[in-house]
Amino acid sequence: MDKILLMLQLQVQLNDATNGEKWVNGTTKNGKKINWKRCIYMEAAEMIDSFSWKHWKNIDQEPDWDNLQIEVVDVWHFIMSLAIENYAQNMRGQIENLAIDISESETFDSLNHKNSLFAPQDEIMVKVENIMFLSLAKDGVNIDQLIKEFFDLVTMSGLDLETLYRLYVGKNILNQFRQDNGYKEGTYIKVWDGTEDNIIMKRVWEENGDIKPQALYRELAKLYLALNKS
């Protein structure tokens, strides 16, 4: 439960900083409507493009497993946000209550087993489409079912609780790094010498198993500085 609660806390901090502290009411500090459901199904659609699903081209191309895992983490940002909003608006409790409910959910235990195996790509795409279907529900999303389907996707994508947590924290650090280096202004370079920064961050995590978040930030800064000097 500890890692789930920490991720929820980090997501609240990120949303507070980005959207204002009243984002659970459905609008940003600038009065713009927030639609977490749309965020989920649009990000899930990008996940499908990790596979060579188009029957008319690249039929034998190997799936982009790195991108799949990054997209899974991105979807997790939005599912957590939707769940926090749902709990707040329906008076189901605070994030501590949500963390408890998640940790007691039907599929949570499967995340506690170390995992690095990928399911067949067709099965993964069906699972992603199930998540899209749930997020497109017009009468409100079944949060519990959405989280169950997502945890199935996590294990099918070669991840477990530890690797999901590490990638989530890594993406938070990367988001902070982007903001500090001109992301809003449009001056930030997202592709580093032919490789997207998401993948660079993931590789740094994998190559440095004990690296701390602050050290990850410094390593990203070093690599980005070298990129700008070249």
Q: What is the CATH number of the domain that holds 103?
A: 1.10.4010.10
CA end-to-end span of the chain? 44
The verdict on 49 and 149 lying in the same domain is yes
The verdict on 151 and 173 lying in the same domain is no
| pLDDT mean over 168-173 | 88
- Domain of residue 63 covers 2-164
| pLDDT mean over 16-45 | 92
The verdict on 153 and 210 lying in the same domain is no
Under a CB-based contact definition with an 8 Å cutoff, are residues 162 and 114 in contact? yes
Mark out the alpha helices in the chain (DSSP H runs): 2-19, 36-48, 65-89, 95-103, 121-135, 143-156, 161-180, 197-207, 213-229
The verdict on 205 and 112 lying in the same domain is no
Strands 195-196 and 191-192, bridge-based pairing: antiparallel
Exposed/middle/buried for 14, CB within 10 Å: 0-12, 13-18, 19+?
middle
- Using DSSP's 3-state secondary structure scheme, residue 154 falls into helix
Tens digit of each residue's pLDDT (9 = 90 or more) over 8-22: 998 998 899 888 888
Q: What is the pLDDT of residue 193?
A: 86
Tens digit of each residue's pLDDT (9 = 90 or more) over 99-156: 999 999 888 988 988 888 999 999 999 999 999 999 998 888 899 999 999 999 999 9
The verdict on 92 and 9 lying in the same domain is yes
Strand partners, 191: 196
pTM for the model stands at 0.87
The verdict on 43 and 132 lying in the same domain is yes
The verdict on 157 and 183 lying in the same domain is no
The verdict on 194 and 132 lying in the same domain is no
